[in-house]
Amino acid sequence: MSAEELPRTVTYDGGRLFFLDQTLLPIEVKQEEQTGIEQVYDSIKRLKVRGAPAIGIAGAYGLVVSMRDKKGYSFEDFMGKLRDNAEYLNSSRPTAVNLSWALKRLVRCAESAGESSGEDLFRLIEREAVYIHEEDKSICRSIGEHGAGLIRNGMGVLTHCNAGALATSEFGTATSPMYTAHSNGISFRVFADETRPLLQGARLTSWELQQAGLDVTLITDNMAAFMMNSGEIDLVIVGTDRVAANGDVANKIGTLGVAVLAKHFGIPFYVACPSSTIDMETPDGESIVIEERGDEEVTSFGERRTAPEGVKVRNPAFDVTPAELITGIITEKGILKPPFSEGLNRMFG
């Protein structure tokens, strides 16, 4: 199976919206139809669909689905409901900026239409959501083309969490250079951190890379230092849910630790993301809201409880890696190098 043949994370066909339920992978591959805004909210909140670019796409289509029975509304009533629904969906997950970016884009698109009918406004936002989806496919391919040259024969490449095809429209962000290098005949190994507490590396990254024919080895999160020290890791590529204007990045919890280790062992640490993940309105990592999730994700492993009843729990879903630990940021427009604030402002400001 090639990267193009992997199951689609988000499918919009004939007005019907489907999400691949990633909470069931790798045991079961199930497409679940999304019939209303509450279901879309729940699917995003519960990580049935996850990964910053995929959340943006899912949110855009979810907003469309929420408005399909509002075609008879006046311009004012349609816009009022559109803004309310966008605000509601945006509250499902606060850290990944792609969600708010996509929802704002659909609202602005409708606002620009002026005094149009509800029918016309619906067709406009539906078309814009499709544009966002198609753009992401092209962006992921471009990230792969820019980043593939970093991967050379015989390398060991470490990634954390899942910034793969399952987190985007296809190819992924962090994995896109890997898929591209693999298709170019480069021989290398990928090491995937399991990524506790929800095991996105074990359940998703190792599964999709294996399905696509890449040489992937799964390791637990606390094995990364050992693998780096033994010389098996030559390069780190991760994704991100938000890039601040100074180059700080928020990504899945544990990314900061990987970056600190890479710095200690002198291993290049790259972040891959689309421009929609770059938030020039957020000055630095301290300004990024970090989502805290439920205790049960930490106190259980699978469906088995692994911690004592009543124990105190912290469960931040993300951490912030400061710009000084990052070797480069791979985007669809090229690879940015430090100082990131200057490059980000020049390219995206």
Question: Catalytic residues, which ones?
Answer: 241
Alpha-helical regions (H) of the chain: 37-45, 52-66, 75-90, 97-111, 118-147, 176-183, 200, 206-211, 224-229, 255-265, 296-299, 340-348
The whole-angstrom separation of Cα 333 and Cα 79 is 34
The burial class, CB within 10 Å (0-12 / 13-18 / 19+), for 123 is: middle
Which residue(s) pair with 218 in the sheet? 192
Q: Which of 259, 236, 251 is nearest to 150 (CA)?
A: 236
Contact 75, 299 (CB under 8 A): no
The whole-angstrom separation of Cα 167 and Cα 150 is 22
The whole-angstrom separation of Cα 72 and Cα 318 is 42
Contact 120, 113 (CB under 8 A): yes
Strand locations in 220-327 (E): 235-238, 242-244, 249-252, 269-272, 278-279, 300-301, 304-305, 318-321
